[in-house]
Amino acid sequence: MRQHAGELVIETPGAGLHDFTGRVAAFVRESGIRNGLLTLFLRHTSASLVVQENADPDVLADLQDFFRRIAPEGARYRHDAEGPDDMPAHIRAALTQTQLSIPVRDGRMTLGTWQGIYLFEHRARPHHRSVAAHIIGE
């Protein structure tokens, strides 16, 4: 039994869902661990992680609409020093995930056929986002 750790830096072009499944699969491969547990932890509070359908891009657009509507920029927030997109970003992050763990079998994540791993950027402008990655197994 052994473990491997690293960091994935994702450059987001602005608000939206960015598929980085390939980056995670590469991390799993380079670990050499064939069976075990992979964990991703996003080191930010105005972006988040979600597993969603990677077949129809309309799903991603509808998801973004929903989160825009439920936590809109126009609402009145105390916290607005960093701009109108800041507090909605924290709320949308609280409603989704900061962390994700996925079992690994035979060198591959046990994702379903249509599942992709997304970094959900909630800020309007491009950001550097850091994801701590960890895998344990054999």
CA 27 from chain centre, in angstroms, equals: 15
What is the nearest approach in angstroms of a second copy to the Cβ of residue 13? Answer: 20
Q: Which is nearer to a second copy, 58 or 74 (CB)?
A: 58
Six-digit token pair at 99? Answer: 């962390």
One-letter amino acid for residue 69 of the chain: R
What is the nearest approach in angstroms of a second copy to the Cβ of residue 134? Answer: 4
Q: What's the chain's length in residues?
A: 138
CA angle 98, 101, 107 (to 5 degrees): 140
Q: Which is nearer to a second copy, 26 or 75 (CB)?
A: 75
Interacting residues with a second copy (CB under 8 A): 1-3, 5, 35-37, 39, 41, 43-46, 50-53, 56, 58-59, 61-63, 66, 70-71, 77-79, 81, 87, 90-91, 93-103, 105, 110-112, 114-115, 130, 132-134, 136-138
Unique residue bearing structure tokens 């994935």: 8
Q: Which is nearer to a second copy, 5 or 26 (CB)?
A: 5
Beta-bridge partners for 40:
100, 133
Q: Which is nearer to a second copy, 64 or 124 (CB)?
A: 64
What is the nearest approach in angstroms of a second copy to the Cβ of residue 4? Answer: 10
The greatest distance separating any two alpha carbons of the chain, rounded to the nearest whole angstrom, comes to: 51
Count CB-CB contacts under 10 A for residue 110: 11
What is the nearest approach in angstroms of a second copy to the Cβ of residue 81? Answer: 7
